[in-house]
């Protein structure tokens, strides 16, 4: 029985954050798990910050992760992971895609983007472990930059912490994509999985 497992996925509009939580939720339900989650859609997200929540377990009721209770924080973009730092505790794991997306407010001089080292240091201090991946690079290796989110999904399973079966998530990915693009996505998942396992060994 799973009591409570909280995943927070953060990123920028267009990075496929919502799709990741849909795949996770579907797979969890297939494995007989209870799932709760939520996201913000519409006006709030056009090109802006996106977060999506997936909570798995029998003792989960609300749609939001309480502060300090996140098991895995995923940053599809480094500064977006940092934006959600208060959900972390010393037992949390952080997975960060190190590819930076600079918002237009930085270009027009309205705000500044911190250094990657600073972001990683803050996340590292607040959590149990930070795994950094160049997911875009891995996605290219898999055959398409569009699979960046699936690479990170693979990495999430590579942590070995998820209560969802690997075959179940792979089957869910397989069914979600057209026959033509499904193999690229499965490859992206496998590469992400391996990259995470390698990072954990280091």
Partner 1 sequence: MKELTISSDAPGERLFVLGNEAIARGAIEAGVQVAAAYPGTPSSEIMETLAVVAKDVGMYVEWSTNEKVAFEVALAASICGVRAMTSMKHVGVNVAHDPLMTASYIGAKGGLVLVSADDPWMWSSQNEQDNRYIAEQGYIPILEPSSVQEAKDMMADAFKLSEEFKHLFMVRSVTRIGHARSDIVLGEISRERRKGSFKKDRSWLVYTPAEARRNKPLMLERFERIKKAANTLPYNQLRLADGAKLGIIACGLSYSYALEAVKWLGIEDKVSVLKIGTPHPLPQELVTRLLNSVGKVLVVEELDPFVELHVKAIAGEANIPVKIHGKDLLPVIGELSTRAVTEAIAKLTNSKLPVDFAALDKLGQEVAPLLPLRPPALCPGCPHRASHYAIRVASRKVARDYGKEVEPIYPGDIGCYTLAYNPPQEAVDTCICMGGSFGIANGLAHVVDAPIIAHLGDSTFFHAGIPPLINAVYNKANITMVVLDNSATAMTGFQPHPGTGYTATGDKTVKLKPEDIARACGVKFVEVVDPFDLKKASETIEKAIRFNGPSFVVFRRLCAIIDQREKRQRGEKTVPYRVDQDKCNIKCGACVKLLGCPAIIKQDAKPIIDSSLCTGCGICAQICPYKAIIQE
36 lies in the site for partner 1, by CB under 8 A: yes
Which stretches of the chain are assigned E, i.e. beta strand?
5-12, 35-39, 49-56, 72-75, 93-97, 129-133
Answer yes or no whether residue 29 interacts with partner 1 by CB under 8 A.
yes
> Residue 41, SS3?
coil
- Comparing CB distances to partner 1, the nearer of 80 and 190 is 80
In this structure, what are the phi and psi dihedrals at residue 80, rounded to the nearest 5 degrees?
-75, -30
Helix axes 148-158, 135-142, angle to 10 degrees: 110
In whole angstroms, the minimum distance from the beta carbon of 81 to partner 1 comes to 11
Nearer residue to partner 1 within complex by CB, 103 or 143? 103
Q: Which is nearer to partner 1, 48 or 160 (CB)?
A: 48
Residue 20 region by backbone torsions, left for phi larger than 0, else alpha for psi between -120 and 50, else beta: alpha
Residues 81-120 binding partner 1 (CB under 8 A) are 82-83, 85-86, 89, 102-108, 110-114, 118-119
The SS3 of residue 138 is helix
Give the HSE-up count for residue 66: Cα atoms under 13 Å, Cβ half-sphere: 7
If binding is defined by CB under 8 A, does position 176 make contact with partner 1? no
In the list 2, 19, 57, 69, the residue contacting partner 1 (rule: CB under 8 A) is: 69
Q: Provide the residue count of the chain.
A: 202
44 near partner 1 (CB under 8 A): yes
Q: Kindly state the DSSP code that residue 65 receives in the 8-state scheme.
A: P
Residue that the structure tokens 């995943």 belong to? 7
- Residue 178 binds partner 1 (CB under 8 A): no
- The residue from 66, 128, 160, 183 that contacts partner 1 (CB under 8 A) is 66
When asked if residue 174 is in the footprint of partner 1 (CB under 8 A), the reply is no
Rounded to 5°, the CA angle 182-199-82 comes to 85
Helix axis angle, 148-158 to 166-176, nearest 10°: 170
Task: Out of 68, 160, 163, 183, point to the residue binding partner 1 (CB under 8 A).
Answer: 68
Binding site for partner 1 (CB under 8 A): 12-13, 21-22, 25-26, 28-29, 34-49, 54, 59-64, 66-69, 79-80, 82-83, 85-86, 89, 102-108, 110-114, 118-119, 122, 126, 145, 175
């Amino acid at each position: 029985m799973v009591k409570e497992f909280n995943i927070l996925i953060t990123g920028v509009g267009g990075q496929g954050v919502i799709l990741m939580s849909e795949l996770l939720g579907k797979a969890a339900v297939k494995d007989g798990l209870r799932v709760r989650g939520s996201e913000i859609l519409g006006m709030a997200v056009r090109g802006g910050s996106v977060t999506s929540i997936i909570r798995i377990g029998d003792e989960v009721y609300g749609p939001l992760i309480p502060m300090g209770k996140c098991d895995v924080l995923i940053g599809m973009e480094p500064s977006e992971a940092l934006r959600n730092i208060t959900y972390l505790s010393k037992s949390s794991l952080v997975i960060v895609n190190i590819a930076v997306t600079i918002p237009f407010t930085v270009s027009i001089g309205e705000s500044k983007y911190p250094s990657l080292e600073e972001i990683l240091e803050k996340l590292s201090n607040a959590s149990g472990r930070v795994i950094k991946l160049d997911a875009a690079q891995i996605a290219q290796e898999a055959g398409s930059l569009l699979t960046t989110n699936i690479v990170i999904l693979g990495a999430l399973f590579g942590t070995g912490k998820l209560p969802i079966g690997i075959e179940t998530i792979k089957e869910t990915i397989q069914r979600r994509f057209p026959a033509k693009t499904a193999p690229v996505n499965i490859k992206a998942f496998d590469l992400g999985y391996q990259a995470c396992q390698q990072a954990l060994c280091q």
